[in-house]
């Protein structure tokens, strides 16, 4: 925990917020500690949604923005994880940043569960709609490249968030998912004294972020020869879907395999896993997951979750809003500096940090993350990124409802 003083700072705006360390060209991921609306945060988990919005007209321009600023049309594509807290929050932060920027006349959102071919079709629809830039969370690192090249041919800027694509003309802005997995895996394996059996749960097969996390997990696993992974070294997929994660956990418990493990590495579905373990009246084992609100609350609730040892790794969904900012920078001809050492060109990489509940210091850090009341428990707690988002984080839940 000593590293946290370097990785995170404290901000006072009526209370304390935690700063999650980011790359040299990005900044830090933060949460705002002022009052938030009490409206429910997530949008309906519909199978498909396409939403044109007059983003610039519904809210005042951000501080310092000129009333005569050039207006742009932005398209946003999220091709999976509808109903997943991270994906819902990501779309909401894009809406919030579009409104706060004062530079977006229309934000058209394609938000549905589909495959790479379906997302390529959505991107082509946005091209046909005449947008100036497209921000998207990719379903595949390579399959979207033909559609992205079609966008380039029309003079449209493209920005990939949360995961990367290999298209050389698209900018990537995403959380360092390799490091995310490495931090959680090392913490977990150390909790087990370097020996034991770990249940390895993952996200969506083939998703770039999941593939990067798998790489990070296995990087650390190679250093711990006495750690055994079940069901195998490739893990089990939850699809980053709450219902699927609950079912997978219930099946694992019913099979008797849970009684033979010593720890769990999760990929954002820790809340559902812990709830299922509690419902089955099983003792908790150490678990590493993301900074999802519901999971952090469980880690701090010693009455209802006694003996739960956990660690939360930051995975800010504010990449949606940051992606809108990056697109506007490109449209306005501003210079963007890529992160040093990033695995792809034209990449802004955000670094995560880990906080556990094993010490008073860690517990205080976790409590400070819960600075925006009224958030959906499925959302990650870091709501903004210094240097990349300018909205008031307290407005994001209402933005998500279309307010």
Two structure tokens written together for 401? 């409802």
Tell me what pLDDT residue 83 has. Answer: 86
pLDDT per residue as tens digits for the range 72-94: 999 999 999 888 889 999 999 99
**CA distance linking residue 132 with residue 402, whole number of Å:** 23
Two structure tokens written together for 160? 């990939």
Q: Does any domain span residue 329? A: no
Tell me what pLDDT residue 39 has. Answer: 24
Q: Does any domain span residue 403? A: no
Closest CA to 289 of 263, 267, 314: 267
- Under the banding of pLDDT at 50, 70 and 90, the label for residue 14 is very low
pLDDT per residue as tens digits for the range 80-135: 988 888 999 999 999 999 999 999 999 999 999 999 999 999 999 999 999 999 99
Q: Does any domain span residue 66? A: no
pLDDT, average across residues 246-254 = 98
State how many domains the chain has.
1
Per the CB < 8 A criterion, the answer to whether 265 and 190 are in contact is no
**CA distance linking residue 81 with residue 226, whole number of Å:** 34
**How large a percentage of the chain has pLDDT more than 70?**
82
What is the domain-level CATH number for residue 295? 3.40.50.2300
pLDDT per residue as tens digits for the range 333-392: 999 999 988 888 899 999 899 999 999 999 999 998 888 877 889 999 988 898 999 999
Q: Does any domain span residue 259? A: yes
Torsion angle defined by CA atoms of residues 5, 7, 11 and 17, in that order, rounded to the nearest 10 degrees: -100
Find the helix packing angle between 208-221 and 177-191, rounded to 10°.
40
211, pLDDT greater than 50: yes
Please give the residue range of the domain that contains residue 240.
177-313
**CA distance linking residue 4 with residue 361, whole number of Å:** 10
Tell me what pLDDT residue 63 has. Answer: 42
Q: Does any domain span residue 172? A: no
Tell me what pLDDT residue 68 has. Answer: 59
Q: Does any domain span residue 211? A: yes
The answer to whether the bond into 231 is cis (omega within 30° of 0) is: yes
Q: Does any domain span residue 264? A: yes
Tell me what pLDDT residue 401 has. Answer: 66
Q: Does any domain span residue 131? A: no
pLDDT per residue as tens digits for the range 25-78: 333 344 332 222 222 222 222 233 444 444 443 333 344 444 457 999 999 999
């Amino acid at each position: 925990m000593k590293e946290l003083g370097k990785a995170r700072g404290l901000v006072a705006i009526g209370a304390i917020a935690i700063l999650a360390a980011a790359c040299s060209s990005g900044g830090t991921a933060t949460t705002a500690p002022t009052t938030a609306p009490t409206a429910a945060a997530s949008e309906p988990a519909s199978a498909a949604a396409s939403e044109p919005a007059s983003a610039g007209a519904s809210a005042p321009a951000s501080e310092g923005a000129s009333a005569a600023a050039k207006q742009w049309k932005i398209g946003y594509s999220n091709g999976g994880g509808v109903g997943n807290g991270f994906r819902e929050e990501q779309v909401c932060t894009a809406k919030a940043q579009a409104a706060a920027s004062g530079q977006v006349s229309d934000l058209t959102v394609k938000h549905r569960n589909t495959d790479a071919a379906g997302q390529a079709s959505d991107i082509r629809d946005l091209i046909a709609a005449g947008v100036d830039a497209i921000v998207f969370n990719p379903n595949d690192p390579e399959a979207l490249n033909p559609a992205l090249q079609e966008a380039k041919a029309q003079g449209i800027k493209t920005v990939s968030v949360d995961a990367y694509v290999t298209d050389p003309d698209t900018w990537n802005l995403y959380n360092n998912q390799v490091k995310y997995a490495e931090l959680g895996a090392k913490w977990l394996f150390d909790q087990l004294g370097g020996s034991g059996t770990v249940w390895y749960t993952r996200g969506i097969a083939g998703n770039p972020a999941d593939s990067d996390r798998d790489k990070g997990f296995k990087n650390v696993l190679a250093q711990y020869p006495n750690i055994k992974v079940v069901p195998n070294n490739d893990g089990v997929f939850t699809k980053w879907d709450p219902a699927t994660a609950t079912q997978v956990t219930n099946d694992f418990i019913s099979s008797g395999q849970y009684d033979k493990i010593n720890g769990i590495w999760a990929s954002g579905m820790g809340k559902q896993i812990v709830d299922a373990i509690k419902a089955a009246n099983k003792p908790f084992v150490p678990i590493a997951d993301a900074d999802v609100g519901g999971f952090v609350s469980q880690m701090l609730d010693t009455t209802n979750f006694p003996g739960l040892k956990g660690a939360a790794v930051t995975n800010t969904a504010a990449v949606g809003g940051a992606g809108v900012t990056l697109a506007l920078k490109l449209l306005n001809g501003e210079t963007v500096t890529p992160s040093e050492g990033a695995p792809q060109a034209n990449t802004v990489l955000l670094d995560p940090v880990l906080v556990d509940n094993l010490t008073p210091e860690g517990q205080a850090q976790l409590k400070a993350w819960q600075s925006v009341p009224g958030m959906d428990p499925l959302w990650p707690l870091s709501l903004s990124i210094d240097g990349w988002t300018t909205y008031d984080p307290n407005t994001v839940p209402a933005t998500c409802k279309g307010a």
